[in-house]
Amino acid sequence: MIAGASAVAAASKSNVISVDFKDNPAAAQSVVVDVRASLAEQGLNVINALQKLSIGEEKPNVDAVICVAGGWTGGSIVSEDVFEATERMYQQSVYSSVIAGHIASKCLKR
């Protein structure tokens, strides 16, 4: 499972599941995350989507989980939207890392 369009393109010869905010046609499967959802909702939705893709298996089994997501919003601390920008960066970087870590703990082949 790989998140990130460039990473999916690089690994396109594998059976890649993309987890991102938009569909990735280069991936074998795409799981689209709702950016407006809470961290808990996003995580549960991703796990549920992976389980649906793993028909016939007790749980999803993946060889690797690679998180390449993240975001940076420049600007100034005096800006009126500093709090919103910081929240977006947190969601893009921390949420994706927590979800990827949780997926790895549940879905990596052992």
On the question of pLDDT at 40 being above 90, the answer is: yes
Sole residue written with tokens 């991102």: 20
Q: Which domain covers residue 18, as residue numbers?
A: 2-107
Angle CA 39–49–31, to nearest 5:
75
Q: What strand order describes the sheet that includes 17-20?
A: 29-32, 17-20, 2-3, 66-67
CATH of the domain at 37: 3.40.50.720
Evaluate whether 99 touches 42 at the Cβ level (below 8 Å). yes
Number of domain units in the chain: 1
Whether the predicted model's global pTM rises above the 0.85 cut: no
| pLDDT tens sequence across 51-97 | 888 766 777 788 889 888 777 777 889 999 999 888 888 888 899 99
In whole angstroms, give the CA distance from residue 8 to residue 1. Answer: 9
Whole-number Å distance between alpha carbons of 62 and 49: 14
